[in-house]
Amino acid sequence: MKRNKKIFLMAAVVIVIIIGAAVCCKFIFLTDRDTTAPEKVVLFIGGEPDFECREVVLEDCREECVDYNPEKGSLLFVNGENQIVERDISGEEHVIDIEAMDLTEPVSNVQYGPDDTSICFVYENKIYQYSFKDQEILYETDGMGSYWLRTYMWENDECGYKLMPNERGMSELYRMDKREEAGQKVCEGWIHSIGQVQGNKIYALERYVGLYYSFGAEIHSRIVAVDVSDGTKETIQGLGRSWDGTALFICDGEDMYYFQEKGKKGCLYRIDLKTGRRKKVYSTRNEVIGIECM
């Protein structure tokens, strides 16, 4: 009898421990779980000596390509209804109606410029310049669209650079000139995204084969500075495997800032272009879709 009672008490203790552990595990699971959905944000970077980083949320931005006009203090992007939207940093926004075209297919890669009264965008693999003043298309050229890569960049009102696909399905960097119908290839290599034009250099994202295997190859990415005079490239920062996260980057001539996703969190880094030193300056769980200097 005593033995049965002892066995019963031991069984009861085991059950209590199991229930307690289950409750404890459930409690930990509920409190440790991150239920906050990431927002799409543009990072605005402050300079020295008091470095700061401000996140501006874009709630209805369909793409990961946005543009910023520092003089107007406004962002340009495409919303979920395929409309081009201009948003003031304070939050006020309005839709830009392209009266000269019926945009029934997806629009991508919107940008301000190349002059003060125009914007540009990619539609059905063509780059269009639309004038606010004349409400008409001023320029059209072959291009390449993307919802997450910057595929063209203006240097001035007449010239710029664009990406074009080759016969192998890779994108190559070409010069874009309104005075010439055919653009000239700038360099060899798999240029994936244009980041910034600084003097005679273009900062760009390049893909390359990092490792070969018997069953294939491992694709890596790096930020490079392309000399437009001779097409030579200087590696600024290696980013590892391409699927580790897309790098967004901006250069002010002295420093380069780039953001790279790493799992659930992403980090903003600053590189001193004179010394090559890199420093992590900010991290966030939100989805960064643009970097701008304040």
**For residue 4, pLDDT beyond 80:** no
Q: Are residues 70 and 197 in the same domain?
A: yes
Which is more confidently placed, 242 or 293?
Answer: 293
Q: Are residues 258 and 220 in the same domain?
A: yes
Measured between alpha carbons, how far is 113 from 128 in angstroms, rounded to an integer?
Answer: 11
Residue 214's domain spans which residues? 46-293
Question: Is the CA virtual torsion 72, 78, 81, 82 positive or negative?
Answer: positive
Judge whether 41 lies within some domain.
Answer: no
Measured between alpha carbons, how far is 175 from 160 in angstroms, rounded to an integer?
Answer: 6
Q: Are residues 28 and 99 in the same domain?
A: no
Measured between alpha carbons, how far is 64 from 68 in angstroms, rounded to an integer?
Answer: 13
Q: Are residues 146 and 249 in the same domain?
A: yes
What integer pLDDT is reported at residue 51 of this predicted model?
75
Q: Are residues 111 and 219 in the same domain?
A: yes
**For residue 245, pLDDT beyond 60:** yes
Judge whether 40 lies within some domain.
Answer: no
Judge whether 152 lies within some domain.
Answer: yes
Q: Are residues 166 and 196 in the same domain?
A: yes
Averaged pLDDT of the chain: 85
Q: Are residues 169 and 232 in the same domain?
A: yes
Q: Are residues 53 and 175 in the same domain?
A: yes
What integer pLDDT is reported at residue 244 of this predicted model?
56
pLDDT tens digit string along 206-234?
Answer: 999 887 777 778 899 999 999 999 999 99
- Is the distance from CB of 45 to CB of 292 less than 8 angstroms? yes
Looking at this protein, which amino acid is placed at residue 64?
E
Total structural domains in the chain?
2
Q: First-to-last CA distance in the chain?
A: 81
pLDDT-based confidence at 14, cuts 50/70/90?
Answer: very low
Q: Are residues 28 and 54 in the same domain?
A: no
pLDDT-based confidence at 47, cuts 50/70/90?
Answer: low
Give the least confident one: 19-33, 161-175, 273-287. 19-33
Judge whether 96 lies within some domain.
Answer: yes
Give the least confident one: 85-99, 156-170, 221-235, 239-253. 239-253
Judge whether 39 lies within some domain.
Answer: no
